[in-house]
Amino acid sequence: MDKKRCDLRLATALQFITVPAVKKHTATVIFVHVSAVLGDTGYGWHPVATMFQKDHSLEHVKFVLPHSPEAPVTANMGIVMPFVVNAEDEAGILKSRASLIQLIDAEIAAGTPPNRIVLGGFSQGASMSLFTSLSLDKQLAGVVCLSGWILIKTTFQKPHACPAFDPLPIFWGHGSADPLVKPKFAEESIDWLKSIGIRSLSGLSYTFYPGVGHSTNMQELEDLKVWIAKVIPERV
């Protein structure tokens, strides 16, 4: 598949909000906070972004928080609400990937190199971030998957088909009591990543958080904050 040509044809510009860096901007986190139940927009992650920036280790980080286009969501009885992708609809997934690549390319064009960009999300936003990061022709600083899973596994037949596979840093967090995206989906996704050749997943940090449902908690956010500071540290 010609990824670049496909992306140019499919991409739809996403609206987003920006949380500027507190200090000189040298790194960017693009976070897609989307839940089939909540129908979140970029504002759903805004309080967390501002909380992260209160830590001196992340004052150099800008947060880009996309709003999702309205689409019928299978998991929510077809009600029209903001959303990135409808279940495993391949056309919708490819269109969403193209839109995320546009955001990444815009950051690069503005002067932030790929290895200073983290892409991540929650729920379907997490799954889209994984899918996009693993099919890019460039290496990002890392990818965040909160309560997500792998989409369209047939796209990734062999590691050599996706240059960014290894050693891409991945933060994977999942609630042990998640009733919507069950922990077994995360476990199966992680096993699948191993099967395609991400050697022992040396770049993967994954944790199951006891008692947490389809949401996050302060421990997961604290772990994520530390991880972000590690993969995109402040440049002196």
pLDDT higher than 50, residue 84: no
* Cα angle for residues 57, 61, 67 (degrees, 5° grid): 135
- What b/e readout covers 178-213, taking b as 16+ CB neighbours within 10 angstroms? beebbeebbeebbeebeebebeebebbbbebbeebe
pLDDT in tens, 129-177: 988 888 888 889 999 999 999 886 655 554 444 555 557 899 999 999 9
The enclosing domain of 153 has a CATH number of 3.40.50.1820
Average pLDDT over residues 80-95: 57
pTM more than 0.85: no
Range of the domain at 14: 3-231
Average pLDDT over residues 88-113: 88
Sort 32 into a burial class: Cβ within 10 Å, 0-12 / 13-18 / 19+: buried
In a domain, 236, yes or no: no
Give Cβ neighbours of residue 60 (< 8 Å, ≥ 6 apart): 21, 22, 23, 24, 25, 26, 27, 234, 235
What are phi and psi for residue 65, nearest 5 degrees?
-120, 95
What are phi and psi for residue 209, nearest 5 degrees?
-100, 115
Please give the pLDDT value at position 205.
86
% of the chain with per-residue pLDDT over 90: 46
Report the domain count for the chain. Answer: 1
Q: Are 45 and 33 in contact (CB under 8 A)?
A: yes
In a domain, 24, yes or no: yes
Closest of 189, 178, 113, 120 to residue 147, by C-alpha: 178
In a domain, 214, yes or no: yes
Residues known to be catalytic? 123, 178, 214
pLDDT higher than 60, residue 106: yes
